Amino acid sequence: SQKIEQNSEALNIQEGKTATLTCNYTNYSPAYLQWYRQDPGRGPVFLLLIRENEKEKRKERLKVTFDTTLKQSLFHITASQPADSATYLCALVTGGFKTIFGAGTRLFVKA
């Protein structure tokens, strides 16, 4: 069956460190992969998009990698800050109009 997996356990890191979140998928051939941030009680907010022919994408302190052989995307936040604490969702766009979302990983950055 088709599956997207993100670490269900929360990730706790110290301020200033790099946070790395993982998104694994099976039985998909996504054309694009997106990452969203969701704060408690709010809707998701788009962060980055990476295409299947791109290995890496950066935006300020954020970096996303996409390995279609491993079927995995890694999301990095460098020099993390307490304000980065949130739930991060990965989403696969396989074509058409349907986006498949993972359940998300909660990140806590301690000051």
Partner 1 sequence: NAGVTQTPKFRVLKTGQSMTLLCAQDMNHEYMYWYRQDPGMGLRLIHYSVGEGTTAKGEVPDGYNVSRLKKQNFLLGLESAAPSQTSVYFCASSYYTGTSSVDEQFFGPGTRLTVL
Phi, psi of 84 (to 5 degrees): -80, -10
Shortest distance (Å) from residue 30 CB to partner 1: 10
Decide whether 35 or 77 has the Cβ nearer to partner 1: 35
Structure tokens at 100: 């498949």
Per CB under 8 A, which of residues 31..90 are in contact with partner 1? Answer: 31-32, 34, 41-46, 49, 89
Q: In 17-27, which positions are buried (b, 16+ CB within 10 angstroms) versus exposed (e)?
A: eebebebbbee
* Residues of the shown chain interacting with partner 1 in the complex, contacts defined by CB under 8 A: 4, 8, 31-32, 34, 41-46, 49, 89, 91, 93, 95-104
